[in-house]
Structure 1
Amino acid sequence: MKKIVLGACLAISLLVFAGCAKETVAVTIDPMQKQTLESSSLSYMESLGSLPAEEIQKSIDQAEHDRNAIVYNGLTNYLNSMHRLGAFVSADSAEAVQEADGSYRVEITSTFEKRKLHLTLGLSEDRQAFTEMTFEPEYSFGEKFGDAAGNLVVGMGTVIVVLIFIAWIISLLKYVNVFEKRRKAGGQAAAAPAAVPAQKAAAAPVNVSGAELEAVIAAAIAAYEADRDGESDGFVPGPTLQNGLVVRSIRRR
């Protein structure tokens, strides 16, 4: 039910918006103006078809100098299509209409050696300037399919070649890494200082108790006194030793 309701709402909305479309006002062109435009357009196509490529190129250069983009682009497209059109045969028909804004549009059909050509000319309201110039050669289905296939092959070939080139560049990155490692290793080897002999390890502190310290000092004093006894007669005046040292107390700090 929800889908049905939504579908009905969508249909109603489309009908409402379609009714709000702007009404197209048909403009009736004056018969004399219509005949004049059609005859002048056929004459323009005949004169253009009889021009050689060099003269068309001069017209293109003049349009570029005058900054007339419409004529420049139109004649450039026609010049690029000349080898596929062949020689000009005839200007067959022309149909002129007037637009709602007052400008004119003329559809011209011409016959060339290889195919037909459809030319659309747009003219301003005063018919003094081109507002449109479109050349459309009539190609067969086989030619269109061939052009599309050629564009596909060229596009895909370009993509494949670019991808192969990128893959080759990526494969070379590993050599860059190896070169960088070698360069760093060479720099470190050149900057490495001469080996310095290891310093002797500092003697580890020895924990000595108070009794052991007293015994060591007493032994040192006794050894010193023994050396002194060998140099004198051994007489010791008073309660002191010969060297005047008196051991009163020993404290560990």
Structure 2
Amino acid sequence: MKQIGKKLGGLVSLGILTLSMTGCMGSQEEINETVMNNLYSTTTSTMETLVAYDNATMEQAIEENPNMDDFTKSAFQAWMDSSEELGAYIGFEDVDPQEAVKKDGSNYVVDLEAEFENGMADVEMVYDSKLNADSIGFSPQYTMGEKMQSAVMNTIVGLGTVFIILFFLCYVIDALKFVPGWVDAVGKKFKKQQPGETQEAVETVQPVQTPAAAPEVSEEEETDDLELVAVIAAAIAASENTSPDSFVVRSIRKSKKNNWR
């Protein structure tokens, strides 16, 4: 697996070395023809080497080579992300390097049109100002029908999401009319529970109170008065030699002084 990364890296390094030697021959404003040819051939060779690997092989190569260079790792990742959608590689359209190689600021960009099992794709490889390979990417080409289908699906999904949200909001707003009734019901239920709680509290406290001492005191006073009357009657009867049965006991009421003149 280490040879896979080395093979792709060596291929790119060889192209970079060739480009570096020929790059000095061109001016900064125009791309030298030799540089364009080398960029084009390096890009096509790199692409065809890359698309020959399957995902499992590339994943294993990345795991077993922690020191793999950034370009090779990013190239593997780019092809793994696109291989399932594009399918197997068939070939590319060979064009004039002048049409494929462009300069974007200080970078060089090579565009290729490749054919895959599931359709065409644009392959773009970017080189920095020192002609070092920087990145490679795969962009599937979609027909007008596929674009329209994708647009329709996106529209349907968007409208469906909007309608679902609106339906939910309408449901929430409609449910708000039940809130006042619910609040009133809870308030009435709370008010009904309060008197019951008060009555229970009173009933709980009442057994503690024992106001039953007063009647006992009055009964004791009446008993003492009767005994006193009996003793007095017996004493009077003994002194007069008469029977105490003929005595009549009357209660004495105290009159107010204001009634006397």
The TM-score range, normalised by the shorter chain, is: 0.5 to 0.7
Distance 1:119 1:60 in 2: 22
Distance 2:82 2:184 in 1: 59
Distance 1:26 1:86 in 2: 39
Deviates more, 1:37-46 or 1:92-101: 92-101
Mapped contact 2:78–2:136 kept (Cα < 8 A)? no
Q: CA RMSD, aligned part only?
A: 3.8
1:187-240 CA distance string (max 9 Å, x none): 23333568xxxxxxxxxxxxxxxxxxxxxxxxxxxxxxxx96xx55xxxxxxxx
* Identity, % of aligned positions: 22
Give unpaired runs (5+ residues) of structure 2.
1-26, 200-257
Distance 2:176 2:77 in 1: 46
SS of structure 1 residue aligned to 2:40: helix
Distance 2:180 2:77 in 1: 52
Distance 2:175 2:48 in 1: 61
Mapped contact 1:26–1:100 kept (Cα < 8 A)? no
Using the TM superposition, give the Cα deviation of residue 114 of structure 1 relative to its aligned residue in structure 2, in angstroms: 3.0
SS of structure 2 residue aligned to 1:50: coil
What is the aligned counterpart of 1:43 among 45, 48, 54? 45
Distance 2:78 2:150 in 1: 16
What is the aligned counterpart of 1:182 among 180, 185, 188? 185
Q: Highest relative contact order (Cα 8 Å, sep 6+), 1 or 2?
A: 2
2:91 corresponds in structure 1 to 90
Q: TM-score, normalised by structure 1?
A: 0.53
Give unpaired runs (5+ residues) of structure 1.
1-24, 195-226, 233-253
SS of structure 1 residue aligned to 2:129: coil
1:37-82 CA distance string (max 9 Å, x none): 11110011112222213345568889xx99x69x75x866654543
Mapped contact 1:46–1:91 kept (Cα < 8 A)? no
Mapped contact 2:113–2:123 kept (Cα < 8 A)? yes
2:10 corresponds in structure 1 to none
CA 1:166–1:53: 2 relative to 1, 3 Å:
farther
Residue 154 of structure 1 pairs with residue 168 of structure 2: no
Distance 2:62 2:161 in 1: 32
Mapped contact 1:111–1:117 kept (Cα < 8 A)? yes
2:130 corresponds in structure 1 to 126
CA 1:82–1:153: 2 relative to 1, 3 Å:
farther
Distance 1:61 1:28 in 2: 41
Q: TM-score, normalised by structure 2?
A: 0.52
Residue 170 of structure 1 pairs with residue 169 of structure 2: no
SS of structure 2 residue aligned to 1:90: strand
Aligned ranges 1:173-252 → 2 under 5 Å: 173-191=176-194, 231-232=260-261
Distance 1:61 1:146 in 2: 39
Distance 1:176 1:89 in 2: 67
Mapped contact 1:27–1:99 kept (Cα < 8 A)? no
Residue 28 of structure 1 pairs with residue 30 of structure 2: yes
1:113 corresponds in structure 2 to 117
- How many residue pairs match? The answer is 171
Using the TM superposition, give the Cα deviation of residue 86 of structure 1 relative to its aligned residue in structure 2, in angstroms: 2.7
Using the TM superposition, give the Cα deviation of residue 27 of structure 1 relative to its aligned residue in structure 2, in angstroms: 2.3
Using the TM superposition, give the Cα deviation of residue 163 of structure 1 relative to its aligned residue in structure 2, in angstroms: 2.0
CA 1:163–1:53: 2 relative to 1, 3 Å:
farther
Using the TM superposition, give the Cα deviation of residue 90 of structure 1 relative to its aligned residue in structure 2, in angstroms: 1.1
Report the structure, 1 or 2, having the larger helix content: 2
CA 1:157–1:99: 2 relative to 1, 3 Å:
closer
Using the TM superposition, give the Cα deviation of residue 106 of structure 1 relative to its aligned residue in structure 2, in angstroms: 0.8
Distance 2:185 2:108 in 1: 76
Using the TM superposition, give the Cα deviation of residue 28 of structure 1 relative to its aligned residue in structure 2, in angstroms: 1.4
CA 1:53–1:106: 2 relative to 1, 3 Å:
same
SS of structure 2 residue aligned to 1:171: helix
Distance 1:92 1:155 in 2: 38
